[in-house]
Amino acid sequence: MSCKVVLAQGISASYREELKNTIKSRNIRPKLVGFLANEDPAAAKYAEWTAKTCAETGVEFELRTCARNDLEDKIIEANQDAGVHGIMVYYPVFGDRQDQYLQNVVDVSKDVEGLHHKYVYNMYHNIRFLDEAKTKKCIIPCTPLGLVKVMEYVGVYNGILPHGNRLHGRVVTIINRSEIVGRPLAALLANDGARVYSVDINGIQEFHRGVGLQLKKHEVTETTLKVEDVLPLSDVVITGVPSPSYKVPSNLIRDGAVCINFSTFKNFDGEEIKKKAAIYVPAVGKVTVAMLERNLVRLYDYQNQDRAA
């Protein structure tokens, strides 16, 4: 078995180091507030990692727990507090459209997760800057962004191609089409040139920019394809099915593929996948947290620029 197992700890190391150096050399103390209003053990674990990484890099992190019906008021309070530079919420809170509403209650200038409609819209439309002068990059949702960084780290992005086209020729299957991770990730990768098969419980959509990347931003087409059709074609398989019993069929994975799991559960059979994959990334949580902090430092700078203007 020649599979290389790549851990999120190693992938995130250079980002954590860079954050630590930036915060120390500039003598700044950006503050992130995390709101926990559910009983989800995965959310508590994510909060624990956030606290640990923040302590290591020099970010001030405060976890605020509250009842879910108080969350909106608590977010508004943090929006108005100039001492808070970034806000995040551990979802799901209500598990329905109210969560989408709450994502838009977080002030756009403090949204470290990049879930506000403005950021989501810009991402789907391949708008990469907030201003015309192109001085402020848009915030990208941190789990999809983390997955992009994982793919850069393991060499899926081709560095000799221009930025924005570095996935030209790559075929990627993503098993998850949630609004938080799977659909934005499919759009990001297709905008960067990949042909993406986006799988959910109801079927498969294809995201792409056409032959020769003729389109400026991706388009989406419905397909009648099945998982057994797309897995053997895929250079990269990314999965995030929130179920302990779900396993990606290893026999369908292309020999030498890159396999990445972002679900809390192990969607790949650890032993079987190593017989097929060239690279296996079993989890990505630590990269997500590093992206969260990177977004925080960016927003901290934007807030200071706006105050100085």
- For ligand NAD, the binding residues (CB under 6 A) are 42, 143, 146, 175-178, 180-182, 199-201, 240-243, 246, 262-265, 284-285, 288
Structure tokens at 3: 């599979």
d(CA 8, CA 236): 17
Least distance CB 239 / ligand NAD (angstroms): 8
> Closest CB to ligand NAD among 140 and 180?
180
Buried b (16+ CB within 10 A) or exposed e, 106-123: bbebbbbbbbbeebbebb
Residue with tokens 């099915």: 241
> Closest CB to ligand NAD among 96 and 132?
96
> Closest CB to ligand NAD among 88 and 279?
88
d(CA 130, CA 302): 10
Least distance CB 13 / ligand NAD (angstroms): 17
> Closest CB to ligand NAD among 80 and 202?
202
d(CA 37, CA 122): 28
Q: Are strands 31-36 and 60-65 parallel, antiparallel or unpaired?
A: parallel
Least distance CB 92 / ligand NAD (angstroms): 7
Least distance CB 223 / ligand NAD (angstroms): 14
> Closest CB to ligand NAD among 106 and 284?
284
299 in Cβ contact with 21 (< 8 Å): no
Q: How far apart, in Å, do the first and last CA atoms of the chain sit? A: 58
Q: Is 299 exposed, middle or buried (0-12, 13-18, 19+ CB in 10 A)?
A: buried
Least distance CB 113 / ligand NAD (angstroms): 10
> Closest CB to ligand NAD among 94 and 265?
265
DSSP characters over 177-236: --TTTHHHHHHHHHHTT-EEEEEETTEEEEEE--GGG-SSS-EEEE----HHHHGGG-SE
Catalytic (active site) residue 142 = yes
Buried b (16+ CB within 10 A) or exposed e, 137-154: ebbbbbbbbbbbbbbebb
Residue among 54, 66, 138, 142 flagged as catalytic: 142
Structure tokens at 104: 């838009």
Neighbours of 216 (CB within 10 A): 11
Least distance CB 161 / ligand NAD (angstroms): 27
Residues known to be catalytic? 142
